[in-house]
Each structure stands twice: as structure tokens, then as C-alpha cells.
Structure 1
Amino acid sequence: MDENNSQRSAQDLLPYVLTFKYDDAIKARARIVFHDQPLQNSHRGIDARIIGAIGEAAFELTCEKLSIPLRRIADRSTVADYVLESGALVEVKSKQRSVRPRVGFEASRPQYNESHQRVDFYVFTSVLNPTKQRNAIAEVAVLGAISCQEFEQLSYEVELGSTLGSGRGAWTAMRNIKIEQLRGLEILKSKAG
């Protein structure tokens, strides 16, 4: 990838990235999705649930826009977030960022999720929060989707503390994929029913 492109945002280069302003529609949907049990093994506790709910809200609105039927898994398990009409399981992974995601940045699946999340697809979202204060969220981007099988083939292991493409250190051990390797959510349509 050329050096000029590495400074451009993912939204500029990847036509399938959908961005939503953090407005009343996203907030209302996130309140429905949110549940207040802290994630086990997450260093961010309840904040991880808040960011996750915002990402899931944007994912739901995107699926409505693209006419992808799905059902939220009501038991709030951490096995998967959604099921498509075909029975395929979808897990939404959301990451808070202080800058818009750029080409070369990663989408992550924490290692502590490997043992219990057996899904068919991952969807990755990015919540833009320049100050990282709860009331300063600006927008949320649905970066794309990937089949679990393809994720396993293309992703790579990252150790705790390793430097990520964003320049930050990894907060936990994880498997990462470059965001430009993701696909549009249309890949879910073929598996929707």
C-alpha cells in the first residue's frame, strides 16, 4: 500500500465502511442493546460493555439499511451477539479509538474470547472518542465483516504489550487482522437465509 494511503482514513479508502454520527438514534439503540454485566477478563470493565453496545447499535442500523435480517441473542451470553435467519452466528467486536481508523490499523479479537466464541462471522466497529470521556463520543464506524474461517487464515497473533499498527501497545494478547482485509456486510446477506 502506498505511503500516502496509510494516512488516509479507512472511510476514504474502503467503500463498504459505514459511519454514523453518535446521535439520538444510535444512543437509543445502544440503550436497548446494553447490559450491565462487566465482561470477564476485560481490563475496561463496564466501559467495554458501553463501547460494545454502541458498536452493536451501529451494526443493527447498518443491517436494517442493507436489508439483512438478524436476531439479537437475548440471553446476553458471550458466545455470540446475533443469529442470522440461516442460523449463522455473528459476533460484533468494537474498539474505541481516539482517531479515525486508517489503513494499516487492526481489528482485534482478544485471546480470552477464543475458547468460548464459536461464531461464523465477526463484524468489527470503531467508536471514535477523541478524549475517551463517555460524553465525548463523536461517531461510530462499521468497518466490515469476515467469516471466522477467513479470520483464522488471515489474522496473526499479537502478544500483550506489542506495538499495534496504530502505534499503541496491545492491552491483552489477541489475534488481529488489518482493517483493509475486511469485507462489506453484504457477505452476511448470502448467509442470512
Structure 2
Amino acid sequence: MPEPLATWTWRLERVRSGRTVLTRAQAATARADLVSDRSAHAGEYEGYDDEYAAALDELEVLSRQANRSDDLLAVLAADRRRAEREGAAGDVPATTHGMGRARASLAGEHDRVPKGLPDALDQWVHRLIRYRAGVKVISPLEAARAEIRLRNEADLNPAAYRTGVAAGYYGRVIRELGEIATAERPGRREVGSRVRGLGDVLV
């Protein structure tokens, strides 16, 4: 396999698994580079038509994703400021007794989440339930990466994310992750604030 195609096939697999992210500009540049390389070295791409077409299709989707203008650079800056505020002390661990009460009180909300959501979406629905209750910390950087991964997954598989019951959960999760990603404070909301759960009306 030609080296540029092998590189982007590998990177796109990492994007799908959430281990790396691509901005819209990066995806557009990568697609143009692949097209240019194939034009210059057509013989090397013989036998790799399917891999080449798949890479171009995915990069095209990613190049049209709805990136925020403040994406990763702003998120990294916010995460750095958060780390500076918290210093070396880190998060204060919750007591076993308090965690037990929180888990018990959240059981009903977790149970209301329907079965059959896409795995990545289901994971973040449950994590955000714990986050809103104050028993889970989500950093701005983690939220930004999750938001981009979910947007990528939804663009590549819209039927699973943007139809039926999943669509409401997807929209709410994306909104909440976006709020956390651009927050100036640490990734924990005040427990006393009133936030509607994902089990409530979603849209």
C-alpha cells in the first residue's frame, strides 16, 4: 500500500476509535494530498481502489464537520488554566458513603436510558448523568475530544445517531459536551444547580 494511503488509513481508524481527532482543515488537506499523490503515482495505487475510495469518503465527511472556531487550541488553553487553578492538589476524592448515596439516587435516571443506543453515545449519556450529579469529573479537553468523536461517528453513520430515539440523546449529549469543552471552570458542576436529566424531555 502506498505510504500516504497507509498513513491515512491508520489515522482514520484512530479517529473512528476516538484515539485521535482531525480538524476540518486537516481532513481537507489530507484529502487533497491523497488525490495529488495518486495522480503522481497512479501505478502504486493499483489494487487499492477500495481503500483509496474509503479514505477519500471519510476525509470528505470529516472536512465538512461542524467544528467550532475555538476547537482544540481554545480547549487546550482552558484545560491548562484549569490545571493551574487546581495545582498539584488534584480533585478531592468523594467519600465512600457519599458516593454510595449518589449512585443510589442516580439509579433511576440510568435505568431510564433506552437500550440500543450506539455504544459511544450510550457511554456518554451515562457519564453525563454522573457528571451532572457531581460524582464524575470531565475536563474540557476530554469533552472536546468526545464531542468531535461523536460528531464524526454520526457523520459516518447518520442512521444510528440522527434518527429515532437516538437523535434526541445525541443532540443533548453534543450540547452538554460543547458547554463543558468551552467552560472556564473545572469539569464539575455545582451539585446544587438544577439541570434537567437526559431522562427528561430532550429537545
**TM-score between the two structures when normalised by the length of structure 2:** 0.28
Structure of greater Rg: 2
**TM-score between the two structures when normalised by the length of structure 1:** 0.29
- Greater helix share, 1 or 2? 2
- Greater strand share, 1 or 2? 1
